[in-house]
Structures are given as structure tokens and as C-alpha cells.
Amino acid sequence: MAVTEAPASSVLAVDETAPAPARKWLRSLAIGLPAGLLVLIFGACFVLPLVAPIPKPTGGDVLSSSLPPFSPGHLLGTDPNGNDIFSRILYGGRSSLIVAISVNLLGLALGGSLGALSAHFGGAVDTIIMRVLDVFIAFPSLVLTLAVAQSLGPSQRNTIFALAFFSIPAFARISRAATLRLREQPFMVAAKLSGTSTWRILVRHIAPNIGPQLMTFAMLGMGIIMIIEGALSFLGLGIPPPAPSWGNMIAQGQLSLSATPLLVVWPSLALFLTVIGFNQLGEALRARWSGR
């Protein structure tokens, strides 16, 4: 049965990897849709407050507190402190996204190179690095982050550090595994034999090859980080109020869940859309890159 065989087995010109037009279209939709959603979200969080008359997210007026949605000047209404909810969503998203991006960049840069180096050198270095990573990975991630966040004190920068504690080991693992797989490739062997410097091998051969995998992981990682960052803020250990974040907005809304559920719904929806955007983009990229 052809399905069980490697593509090379069917000599006939049924190129199963070449997508028919319909499929190609679907595939680009699978990437385009979440990518478009993310562009919208990024635009709304980073650009909209600059160009549109969006009220400040903090320092609201008690007189205009708890206004319903579609009140004049307040698209989603205001919270019990009189702050504009829409504005808090945008600014909160901004800080959540900054945290998630920073954490992933840190993980990508530090964890990615750590893993690649570890796999590249092998031997004792590799063993030691892997043992240390095992320790981090044995840690329930949220618990570790909670402890770190608490000892450093709640702030955006500290949230980033706390979360980086476990994004770095995670990236290192992926990058190590990917590099190990590369090591056997002929071009790697050739590069080594021809005396190419380690640095050059890393930059010219390893990085471009493990890049796609790490990028996919980073996309999925964005979703995870957004959720954990929300959890930290939800528990009061992330971005401290009154500065908005989706997590602390949800926590605040929880206090009056039965009376004004919308306070929880809006930031939850924003979080959900962002996370599903990253997750779907990650999945689509993975499908594309593994399909080759």
C-alpha cells in the first residue's frame, strides 16, 4: 500500500508532496488566517493607541465607573475604577506581548545556542548541560516562575526573567535534539572534515537548519507564555495593578463575576484569540516545514 511506503517508492509520477491547487490554497489560508489575526492584534495593541483617541488605561474617573459597553467614548464600557476597558485591553495586550516576545527571544537566543553548542561539542560538556537542564525541566514550570517572580518582586521586567527561567531550557532541548539530528548529515561531516571553524559551522550550517524548528517552537511558545504570564498576573505576581494586563484584569473581574461577567469576558477573549493565533500559526508552519 502506497501510503505505507516512503514517497521514493512510487516511481510513477504521482508526486504526493506536490499540492494540488486547492490544497495549496488551503495551506496558505492556514498560515494567512492566524497570521492576519495576529497582525490585527499587534496593530491594535501597538499602533491603535498612537493614532486613535483612546483614553488612558489608568487614572480613570470614579464618576464614570462601571459604564456599559457602547457608552459614549468607551467602546467596551468602563471598569469599577472608571478606566476604559478597551484601552486597558490594548495596553494590557501590549505588555503581555512584550513579555511573551522577550521571553521567547531570550529562549531562542540563549537556549537555542546553548542546545546547539551542547550537541555540537558532545561529551562531558553536553552531559553536564543536559543534567542541569533536566533539573529545570523537572521543575513544574508555573511553580518555579511563581517562586522566582515572588523573590524578584512583581514587575514586567521580573516577569520576563522569571519566565525565561524555563523558556531557556525548553529551547535548549529542542535545539539540541535538532542539532544532533543534523550532525549525521553529509554536509556537516564535510564541513568538519574540511576544518571549518566551530563558529562558522554554527552560524552557517547549524543555525539555518534548526531555525525553522525553533521558530515553530517559538510560535507555540508564545501561546504558552501568554497563558502563564496571564496566570502570574492573575495570581498577583506578574504585572502589578493599576497597570493593566489581561491576567490582572481577569483577576479583578473575578471579584464581581456574577454581577459583571463581561469584565472577565473581554480580557479572556483577547487572550484566547491571541493564543489561538500563535498556536495555529505554529501548527501551520510546522505542517509546511515538515511537509518538505
Q: Tell whether residue 17 is a contact of ligand ATP (CB under 6 A).
A: no
Q: Are 157 and 106 contacting, i.e. CB atoms less than 8 angstroms apart?
A: no
Nearer to ligand ATP, 2 or 265 (CB): 2
Q: Which of 23, 56, 157, 204 binds another protein (CB under 8 A)?
A: 23
Nearer to another protein, 61 or 134 (CB): 134
7, three cell numbers: 514517497
Q: Tell whether residue 51 is a contact of another protein (CB under 8 A).
A: no
Name every residue whose Cβ is closer than 8 Å to that of residue 248 and which is 6 or more positions away in sequence: 92, 233, 234, 236, 238, 239, 240, 241
Q: Are 191 and 205 contacting, i.e. CB atoms less than 8 angstroms apart?
A: yes
Please choose, from the candidates 122, 179, 158, the residue with its C-alpha nearest in 3D space to the C-alpha of residue 237.
158
Residue 25 binds which of ligand ATP, another protein, none (CB < 5-8 A, kind-dependent): none
Beta bridge partners of 74: 71
DSSP at 17: T
Amino acid at site 146 = L
User: 106 to 135, contacts with another protein by CB under 8 A?
Assistant: 131-132, 134-135
Nearer to ligand ATP, 3 or 63 (CB): 3
Q: Tell whether residue 17 is a contact of another protein (CB under 8 A).
A: no
Q: Which of 58, 64, 66, 268 binds another protein (CB under 8 A)?
A: 268
Give the DSSP H/E element, type plus range, for residue 273: helix 262-291
Q: Which of 6, 8, 14, 51 binds ligand ATP (CB under 6 A)?
A: 14
Q: Provide the minimum distance between the beta carbon of 17 and ligand ATP in the complex, in angstroms, as a whole number.
A: 13
Q: Are 131 and 197 contacting, i.e. CB atoms less than 8 angstroms apart?
A: no
Q: Tell whether residue 135 is a contact of ligand ATP (CB under 6 A).
A: no
Q: Could you give the string, one character per residue 224-263, with x where binding to another protein holds by CB under 8 A and - elsewhere?
A: ---x--xx--xxxx------------x---x--xx--x--
Q: Are 288 and 27 contacting, i.e. CB atoms less than 8 angstroms apart?
A: yes
Residue 150: how many other CB atoms lie within 10 Å: 15
Backbone angles phi, psi at 15, to 5 degrees: -80, 100
User: 141 to 180, contacts with another protein by CB under 8 A?
Assistant: 141-144, 146-148, 150-153
The dihedral sign for the CA sequence 26, 217, 138, 161: negative
Nearer to another protein, 190 or 257 (CB): 257
Q: Provide the minimum distance between the beta carbon of 278 and another protein in the complex, in angstroms, as a whole number.
A: 8
Q: Tell whether residue 186 is a contact of another protein (CB under 8 A).
A: no
As a whole number of angstroms, the distance between CA 58 and CA 68 comes to: 18
As a whole number of angstroms, the distance between CA 45 and CA 91 comes to: 6
Could you give the maximum distance between any two Cα atoms of the chain, in Å? 76
Q: Tell whether residue 19 is a contact of another protein (CB under 8 A).
A: yes
Residue 140 binds which of ligand ATP, another protein, none (CB < 5-8 A, kind-dependent): another protein
Amino acid at site 219 = M
Which residues sit at the interface with ligand ATP, rule CB under 6 A?
1-3, 9-10, 12, 14
Which residues sit at the interface with another protein, rule CB under 8 A?
1, 3-5, 9-14, 16, 19-23, 131-132, 134-136, 138-144, 146-148, 150-153, 223, 227, 230-231, 234-237, 250, 254, 257-258, 261, 264, 268, 271-272, 275-276, 279-280
